[in-house]
Amino acid sequence: MREINRREFIRSLVALWATTLGAGGVLAQAACAPGPGQAGGLARKPSLGPAVDQAYLTVARGKSPAEITQQAIAALGGIERFVHSGDDVIIKPNICVAYHTYEYAATTNPEVVATLVSLCLGAGAKKVRVMDYPFGGGADAAYERSGIAQAVTAAGGQMEQMAKMKYRKTAIPAGHDIKEWPVYQDVLEADAFINVPIAKHHNLARLSLGMKNLLGVVLDRNKYHRNLGQRLADLTSLVYPTLTVVDAVRILVDHGPTGGSLEDVQQMDTVIASHDPVAADSYAATLFGLAGADIAYVKAAAEMGLGEMELSSLKIEEIKA
């Protein structure tokens, strides 16, 4: 992986500034060096910010995970705002363990993931791959146990194991604490990268939300936990999701990230969506009685200009199915 040169750096910076300024996106992104998705000369285009009549962030509530996912995306302007005909799409849920079903709120709800697969294919995506790198058990077993493999296959998507050979040392030019790390290259090369975490308690990060879910795209995760908040923000500056969809259908309020007791699970019947991962995580934190500033990586990412942590100034559309 070659390093970005000065000309590429300036070109990407100017392009990102024009995109965010013209579309009402997060202006501060332009100030944090190479912009989202940069790896060497390779960059995934950042999502356009919302149009004047579109919500910045949507929150849908209802009994059907599929329906509220559809409604949350529709209120953002539709999946076509993020996925285009011919796109190679990667969807990254949280499939951290092979020994719990989704009812235990350690893994993302299969209906939420499958609905996103269907929406992407409906928008003309060339292919939609779903993947994670579990730390408890093998990938195939975790995919099956979570219920995600069956749901994704039925929706026409592809489950893919994340091969170690595809993790390569990658520069993180905007990083404050880390400047390079082994990152899964397909995630950087995809036309659209949709991050679909489940909202849950985490014994080290306090909460595992969207930016914490990105840890599945790097190797040496134990080392990454040193100064975890800043390092997750650094990673977000590189692996900037096209769209973040937070599954809060069932949330894990204690003993995360793996859980294991239904007593720690609360039924919230909620899905949160935004082009801005900082705003999505900040809102998700309120479901636990916290603010974005209470979560180290949310605060660090906001300070880096990667998104909006303060929700009061944002156009938030709440939908009840």
- Residue 71 corresponds to which tokens in the numbers above? 């409604």
Higher pLDDT, 221 or 60: 60
Higher pLDDT, 186 or 13: 186
**DSSP collapsed to 3 states, 297-321:** HHHHHHHCCCCCCCCCCCCEEEEEC
The upper half-sphere exposure of residue 223, i.e. CA atoms within 13 Å in the direction of its Cβ, equals: 8
Domain ranges of the chain: 6-320
- Please name the residues in contact with 275: beta carbons below 8 A apart, sequence gap of 6 or more: 25, 47, 48, 49, 50, 76, 81, 82, 242, 243, 244
Higher pLDDT, 300 or 14: 300
Q: Pairing mode, if any, of strands 206-208 and 198-202?
A: antiparallel
The one-letter code for the residue type at 165 is M
Residue 32 has pLDDT above 50, yes or no: no
List pLDDT tens digits, range 96-122: 889 889 999 999 999 999 999 999 999
Mean pLDDT, residues 147-173 = 96
List pLDDT tens digits, range 190-226: 999 999 999 999 989 999 999 999 999 999 888 888 8
Report the CATH architecture of 6-320. Answer: 3-Layer(aba) Sandwich (3.40)
Report CA-CA distances (Å) from 110 to 67, 102, 239: 13, 7, 23
List pLDDT tens digits, range 228-250: 999 999 999 999 999 999 999 99
The upper half-sphere exposure of residue 89, i.e. CA atoms within 13 Å in the direction of its Cβ, equals: 32
When pLDDT is cut at 50, 70 and 90, the band that residue 46 belongs to is low
pTM of the predicted protein model: 0.87
Q: Rounded to a whole number, what is the largest CA-CA distance in the chain?
A: 55
Please give the share of the chain, as a percent, with pLDDT higher than 90.
77
List pLDDT tens digits, range 259-311: 999 999 999 999 999 999 999 999 999 999 999 999 999 999 999 999 999 99
Higher pLDDT, 307 or 21: 307
For residue 225, the model assigns a pLDDT of 85
For residue 137, the model assigns a pLDDT of 85
For residue 44, the model assigns a pLDDT of 52
Residue 317 has pLDDT above 80, yes or no: yes
Spatial separation of the C-alpha atoms in residues 229 and 56, rounded to whole Å: 24
